[in-house]
Structure 1
Amino acid sequence: MSTDYQQAREALGLRLRELRLAAVDGRLTGAGLARRLGWPQPKVSKLENGRQTATPDDLRAWADGTGQPEAYDELLARLRGFESHIRSWRRQLSSGHKPVQDAHLAAHADATVLRGWETSMIMGILQTPDYARSLFTRYAELQRSPRDTEEAVRSRMRRQEALYDPGKRFHLLMWEAALHARVCQPSVLAAQLDRLHGVVGLDTVDLGIVPFGAVLKIPPATPFWIYDDQQVVVETWHAELWLDDTDSVATHLRVWDALRESAVYGAEAQRVIARARQGL
Structure 2
Amino acid sequence: MAQSPSSSVQAAREALAERLKNIRLDAGLKAREVAARAGWYPSKASRLENATTPPSDADIRAWCTICGVPDEAPDLIAASRSAQSAYVEWKRLQRTGLRRLQESYVPLYERTRAFRVYCSNVVPGLLQTPGYATALLSAITDFRQTPNDVAEAVAARVDRARILRHGDHRFAILVEEAVLRQRLGDAEVMAGQLGHLLSVMSLRSVSLGVVPFTADRRMWPLETFSIYDTAQVQVETLTAAVNVTAPSEIAQYVKAFEWLSDSAVYGASARTLVTDAIGALG
How far residue 12 of structure 1 moved from its aligned partner, in angstroms, is: 6.0
Find the aligned partners of 1:145 and 1:47 in 2 and give their Cα distance. Answer: 31
Match of 1:162 in 2: 163
Find the aligned partners of 1:94 and 1:203 in 2 and give their Cα distance. Answer: 37
Q: Per the alignment, in what secondary structure is the counterpart of residue 115 of structure 1?
A: strand
Match of 1:51 in 2: 52
How far residue 224 of structure 1 moved from its aligned partner, in angstroms, is: 0.8
Distance 1:261 1:79, change over 3 A: same
Larger CA deviation: 13-22 vs 235-244 = 13-22
Match of 1:225 in 2: 226
Instruction: Please tell me whether the aligned partners of residues 105 and 158 of structure 1 are also in contact (alpha carbons under 8 angstroms).
Output: no
Q: Deviations over 1:38-83 (max 9, x none)?
A: xxxxxx98676433557x8xx889x9xxxxxxxxx98986653322
Find the aligned partners of 2:203 and 2:34 in 1 and give their Cα distance. Answer: 58
Query: Pick from 9, 13, 16: which aligns with 1:8?
Result: 13
Find the aligned partners of 2:102 and 2:206 in 1 and give their Cα distance. Answer: 21
Q: Per the alignment, in what secondary structure is the counterpart of residue 241 of structure 2?
A: strand
Distance 1:21 1:140, change over 3 A: farther
Letter of the structure 2 residue corresponding to residue 94 of structure 1? R
Match of 1:29 in 2: 42
Find the aligned partners of 2:8 and 2:125 in 1 and give their Cα distance. Answer: 29
Match of 2:145 in 1: 144
Instruction: Please tell me whether the aligned partners of residues 114 and 169 of structure 2 are also in contact (alpha carbons under 8 angstroms).
Output: yes
Letter of the structure 2 residue corresponding to residue 29 of structure 1? P
Find the aligned partners of 1:53 and 1:95 in 2 and give their Cα distance. Answer: 24
Task: Number of aligned residue pairs: give it.
Answer: 257
Instruction: Please tell me whether the aligned partners of residues 116 and 225 of structure 1 are also in contact (alpha carbons under 8 angstroms).
Output: yes
Instruction: Please tell me whether the aligned partners of residues 125 and 160 of structure 1 are also in contact (alpha carbons under 8 angstroms).
Output: yes
Q: What is the percent sequence identity of the aligned residues?
A: 30
Q: Per the alignment, in what secondary structure is the counterpart of residue 95 of structure 1?
A: coil
RMSD: 3.1
Find the aligned partners of 1:77 and 1:166 in 2 and give their Cα distance. Answer: 33
Letter of the structure 2 residue corresponding to residue 148 of structure 1? D
Instruction: Please tell me whether the aligned partners of residues 13 and 54 of structure 2 are also in contact (alpha carbons under 8 angstroms).
Output: no
How far residue 145 of structure 1 moved from its aligned partner, in angstroms, is: 2.0
Instruction: Please tell me whether the aligned partners of residues 132 and 193 of structure 2 are also in contact (alpha carbons under 8 angstroms).
Output: yes
How far residue 88 of structure 1 moved from its aligned partner, in angstroms, is: 1.5
TM-score normalised to structure 1 length: 0.80
Q: Deviations over 1:162-199 (max 9, x none)?
A: 10025111011111000111222221111111111111
Find the aligned partners of 1:46 and 1:93 in 2 and give their Cα distance. Answer: 28
Gaps of 5+ in 2: 1-5, 22-30, 62-72
Find the aligned partners of 2:54 and 2:97 in 1 and give their Cα distance. Answer: 20
Q: Per the alignment, in what secondary structure is the counterpart of residue 234 of structure 1?
A: strand
How far residue 21 of structure 1 moved from its aligned partner, in angstroms, is: 2.6
Match of 1:41 in 2: none
Match of 2:179 in 1: 178
Letter of the structure 2 residue corresponding to residue 161 of structure 1? R
Gaps of 5+ in 1: 34-43, 64-72
Find the aligned partners of 2:241 and 2:158 in 1 and give their Cα distance. Answer: 21
